[in-house]
Amino acid sequence: MDAAGRTLEIVRNYFRCDPKEFVKKRIPITSWLPYYTVSTFFQDLLAGFTVGLTEIPQGIAFAGIAGLTPEYGLYCGFMGGFVYAIFGSCKDVNIGPTSIMALMLQEHVSKLGPDMAVTISFLAGIIIFILGLLNLGFVVEFFSYPIIAGFTCAASLQIASSQVKGLFGLPGKANAFLEAWEAVFDNIDQIRLWDSVLGILSILFLVALKEIRRFGTLQYRSDWSRNRNIFGIFIFMLSLARNALVVIIGTVIAYDLRDEAPFKITGEVKGGFPPFEAPPFSINLNGTEYSFSDMAQDYGPSIAFIPLVAILEAISIGKAFSKGRAIDATQEMLALGLCNIMGSFVRSMPITGSFTRTAVNNASGVRTTLAGIFTSLMVLLAIAFLTPSFYYVPKATLASVIICAMFYLFDFDAFVVLWKSKKLDLVPFLTTFLCCLFISLEYGILIGIGVNLLFVLYASARPKLSITKEKISNHNGDIFVITPRDTLYFPAAEYLRDSVLECHGENVTVVIDGKFVRNMDVTVAKSIAVFTQELSQRGQTVAFLNFKPSVREVCIKVDKELQQYFKEGNLEDVLESEPIEDFLVQ
């Protein structure tokens, strides 16, 4: 075998699959691009253009949430689309700036400047990519629905609160929930009339276009060949482009009234394409040099939670729009990691899947991930040619865009669902919500997960046990049958022992029915050996029925004497077929 053949064999053995199949799996564009058609191209072009109308104003607005200048929101908008088009596996998902990612950057950017956002994008990408390589996507399973809902509600409320001052043209800078409202009430006498009017009218305009979409949706379908209702299409497209429309209208008004200057405006936005360079691993701020270790220390828990939240958003959005199709979580993590790594080379802040833009993508009839490239091209054109016009974008208009987005992001249904289904889940939900709101998002998630795990551990420590008292005609004495209803782990050891030892009486036989026990750890096995000896000292009889071989093996390896007490069959047959003395614990 020549060198090329040996290399191919090594690759095949390493990946345990044909290299061609591996390439198709890990670079999904190679599997569908050869079959790409002109009609698909035009549908992707329409979807990409429509999403671009949403992404440009959102990118500018989300950059403001993070404390960055508007161009950073545009930089991260275009690189994600290019990379995800090649490596992404879900056609609907749009990768780019999100409000939650921006909020998690706020504190770090305010301390050490915009380089902090760029570097954390690179680090988060590396972490996400490694987690994907190691198939460790299961870590997001620790984010239960109450945790996700509490986190989302707190983040949306905090973001909306931070924009109230912009909505009314108030001075000051406050990002935390309490600080934002303190700033509003401390400066309430400085409310600017025309900023307030423009901001409130913008909100009403956005809500109206959002709700009118329902009417348009009834008449419009993504399959243009079946439905060509022009009015329905117009209403539908008008609703999809509502963010862009409100920004354009506000900018035109501000430009026409530039001499009177009735509004606070965005100001100068850096134009031109971003430089392609390595992310910074040290910062010089006001003459003070900060090393990478200083930066890492400032990131704190964010260095773990930003990638985890990014994974959670991207995968959950992919699942929501997959329509029952299996999502390759590993591939999504690899793609998301690469998006962030490459984005950091064009000064992007961390990016992930956007639910809003993904919904727009889906509603626009997207066919492949190539639509992301068309969205990215729109963003590039905006960076190259439209940045002078961003100078006149009113801050009140951007605030209205964010506040409306946060209103629809807030999970109002969570309170009702948890109250109706399981009130106990309100505890981790409210804990996460309040801690994220009043402490920080990172610690709020940690505390919420901790509280949620306490409930899980308590359930493990108090497994469901059914205890029944049986009588058999030719058997003297009482027979207590204890049936654990689930797997037994170490927190349940003492509870199981206490339940068994509560079976008192003369000529008592205790039977542990293990038909539902799928697994058992050493702690429970040692507890079984201990209470077996205790039953012996009380002169009682014990038997273990219907345990899986793997569970029996764990117990026998802990104590070989237990082997004689494991029996198979139903209770009557076992007790009738053998003398009761055979079960007596020696």
Asked if 457 and 529 sit in the same domain, the reply is no
Joined tokens for residue 151: 């986190």
pLDDT, position 222: 47
Supply the pLDDT for residue 2: 57
Q: Which residues contact 485 (CB under 8 A, 6 or more apart)?
A: 463, 464, 465, 466, 516
Q: Are 298 and 108 in contact (CB under 8 A)?
A: yes
| Confidence tier at 201 by pLDDT (50, 70, 90) | very high
Which of 371, 405, 439 marks a domain boundary?
405
Look at the block and give the residue holding tokens 């409202």: 181
200 pLDDT above the threshold of 90: yes
The yes-or-no verdict on residue 548 having pLDDT over 80 is yes
- In this structure, the answer to whether residues 256 and 166 fall within a common structural domain is yes
Distance between CA atoms of 313 and 94, rounded to whole angstroms?
A: 11
Mean pLDDT computed over 377-404: 86
List pLDDT tens digits, range 415-463: 888 888 888 889 999 999 999 888 888 788 889 888 988 888 887 788 8
Domain annotation covers residue 412: no
Q: Which of 39-43, 307-311, 532-536, 568-572 has the lowest mean pLDDT?
A: 568-572
Q: Is residue 90 part of a domain?
A: yes
My answer on whether 502 and 454 are in the same domain is no
Q: Is residue 112 part of a domain?
A: yes
The answer on 117 and 245 residing in a single domain is yes
Same domain, 399 and 525: no
Is residue 153 assigned to a domain?
Answer: yes
Give the pLDDT confidence of 312-322 residue by residue, as tens digits: 888 878 876 77
Residue for token pair 């998690």 = 104
Quote the pLDDT of residue 221: 46
95 has a pLDDT exceeding 80: yes
Q: Find the radius of gyration of the CA atoms of the chain.
A: 31
Tell me if 20 is assigned to some domain.
Answer: no
Of 585, 577, 484, the closest CA to residue 530 belongs to 585
Return the pLDDT at 12: 54
Per-residue pLDDT tens for 448-504?
888 988 888 887 788 888 888 777 766 667 788 888 887 787 788 888 888 877 776
- Tell me if 565 sits within 8 A of 542, measured CB to CB: yes
Calculate mean pLDDT across residues 107-120: 90
**Do both 357 and 436 map to the same domain?**
no
Question: Looking at residue 558, what is its pLDDT?
Answer: 87
- Residue 26 included in any domain: no
Q: Mean pLDDT over residues 52-69, rounded?
A: 86
Please check whether residues 73 and 182 belong to one and the same domain: yes
Same domain, 193 and 334: yes
Residues 394 and 405: their CA atoms lie apart, in Å, by: 17
Task: Work out the percent of the chain whose per-residue pLDDT is above 70.
Answer: 87
Are 454 and 579 part of one and the same domain? no
Contact by Cβ (8 Å): 229, 220: yes
Domain that residue 445 falls in: 429-461
303 within a domain of the structure (yes/no): yes
User: DSSP label at 394?
Assistant: B
**Statement to judge: residues 450 and 341 lie in one domain:** no
Residue 344's pLDDT is: 92
Residue 541 phi, psi dihedral angles, 5° rounding: -105, 145
Q: From residue 86, how far is each of 33, 124, 179, 339, 365 by CA, in Å?
A: 10, 20, 42, 10, 19
- Written as six digits, the tokens of 461 are 């420590």
Q: What is the CATH number of the domain that holds 577?
A: 3.30.750.24
State pLDDT tens for residues 3-43: 556 555 545 554 556 677 777 778 888 888 888 889 889 88
Confidence bin at 116 (pLDDT 50/70/90): very high
Number of domains into which the chain is organized: 3
Is a pLDDT exceeding 60 seen at residue 109?
yes
Average pLDDT of every residue of the chain: 82
Q: Are residues 517 and 469 in the same domain?
A: yes
> What pLDDT score was predicted for residue 125?
94
Strand partners, 284: 289
Please indicate, yes or no, whether residues 457 and 474 belong to a single structural domain of this protein. Answer: no
413 found inside a domain: no
Q: What is the DSSP string of 188-214?
A: GGG--HHHHHHHHHHHHHHHHHHHHHH
524 contacts 512 by C-beta, under 8 angstroms: no
pLDDT attached to residue 572:
67
pLDDT digits (tens, 9 = 90+) for 240-289: 778 888 888 998 999 898 888 888 888 777 777 788 899 999 988 888 88
pTM of the predicted model as reported, rounded to 2 decimal places: 0.75
